[in-house]
Structure 1
Amino acid sequence: GNDHIRGGGGNDELHGSYHRDLLVGGYGNDTLLGGGGNDTLVGTGGLNRLLGMHGHDRIVGGDGHDIVRAGTGNDTVFGKRGNDRLMGDDGHDILHGNA
């Protein structure tokens, strides 16, 4: 089903499924990988890697220096604090930096 997955204080790797998932990293250096559904990925503290994968995703970077890549759908990406690297992919992506 639609999963809600939250990371802890360590360095976590969270994977979404083919449904509409919510992945929220913890305070470590996390890797969040969306699945085939229309997912929401949220980085928090730390140096995060966020990858939308398939579907139309919403991806929000955290307060650290994040690497964020949209997936193959029409994704919306938000950078937050830190020196983030935001990348689009296939589809019509919208990238919002925090300048």
Structure 2
Amino acid sequence: MASNLEEELSCPVCRDIFRDPVLLSCSHSFCRACLNRWWTQKQVRKCPVCNCDSDRKEPTCNLVLKNTCEAFLLEREDVCQLHSEKLKLFCLDHQQPVCLICRDSR
């Protein structure tokens, strides 16, 4: 289950953590690639969330959101997705980092 923070850092189009986020004049943010794909498919430059016209030819990079997402992803790499515990061990059988709960539940 996604955390509230993860939901807030997710693109409304692809539902993944923002990659190269851009900001529209209506204040909604999207991955640059998702927005460009959306606009190409719909053949109209409107916000996918609120349907407002985009008044910019090129959306502005949302640098604060980009930095926040990058920090979130770096932090998340060190945490077990199943148990939200620090990854402290390496499983030789599965060739991946595991937390203590994963090791003990085997």
The TM-score range, normalised by the shorter chain, is: under 0.3
Structure with higher helix content: 2
TM (normalized to structure 2)? 0.21
Max Rg structure? 2
Structure with higher strand content: 1
TM (normalized to structure 1)? 0.22
